[in-house]
Amino acid sequence: MKKRAKEFFSVSLIIAIILVAYSNIGTVAGDTLTGNAVTGDAITGNATSSNVAVSVTIAGAAEETPSGSGGGGGGGGGVSSFSIDKSQISVTLKPGQVKTENITITNNGTRSMNIVTENLFKEFVVKVEDIIVLNPGESKTMPIYLVVGEDTIPDLYLGKIILSSGDIRKEVLIAIEVESEGILLDVRAEILRGYKNIFPGGEILAEMRLFNLGVSDERKDVIIEYIIKNYEGNEIFKQTESLAIETQISFIKRIPIPENTKLGKYVLYVKAVYNDKTASSSDNFEIVSSKTTIREKVFAAALIILIALAILVIYYRIKRNKKNFIRRIFGI
Report the range of poorest mean pLDDT among 7-21, 70-84, 91-105: 7-21
- Between 12 and 52, the more confident residue is 12
Query: 316's torsion region: left (phi>0), alpha (psi -120 to 50) or beta?
Result: alpha
Query: Can you spell out the DSSP letters for 4-39?
Result: HHHHHHHHHHHHHHHHHHHHTTT--S-SS--SS--S
Which residues make Cβ contacts (< 8 Å) with residue 255, sequence separation at least 6? Answer: 203, 204, 205, 206, 226, 228, 237, 239, 268
Nearest in space to 170 (alpha carbons), one of 90, 115, 132, 234 = 115
pLDDT-wise least confident of 29-43, 152-166, 175-189, 227-241? 29-43
Determine the pLDDT at residue 127.
Answer: 80
* Contacting residues for 176 by C-beta, under 8 A, at least 6 apart: 91, 92, 93, 124, 146, 148, 156, 157, 158
The 10 Å CB-count burial string (b at 16+, else e) for 100-138 is ebebebebebebbbbbbbebebeebbeebeeebebebee
Give strand pairing partners of 255.
Answer: 204
Is the distance from CB of 161 to CB of 120 less than 8 angstroms? yes
Give the pLDDT confidence of 220-239 residue by residue, as tens digits: 889 999 999 999 999 999 99
Q: Tell me how far apart the 2 most distant CA atoms of the chain are, in Å.
A: 102
Q: pTM higher than 0.85 for the full model?
A: no
Gap between the Cα atoms of 7 and 11, Å rounded: 6
State in words which class domain 20-287 has: mainly beta
CA distance 327 to 283: 74
pLDDT the model gives residue 329: 60
5 falls in which pLDDT band (50, 70, 90)? low
Q: Please, which residues have CB within 8 angstroms of residue 246's CB and are 6 or more apart in sequence?
A: 36, 45, 46, 47, 212, 217, 218, 219, 220
pLDDT in tens, 264-274: 999 999 999 99
Q: Report domain extents, the chain.
A: 20-287
User: What average pLDDT does this structure show over 1-12?
Assistant: 54
Mean pLDDT of the chain: 79
Lowest mean pLDDT among 161-175, 211-225, 243-257: 211-225
Q: How many C-beta atoms lie closer than 10 Å to residue 262's C-beta?
A: 16
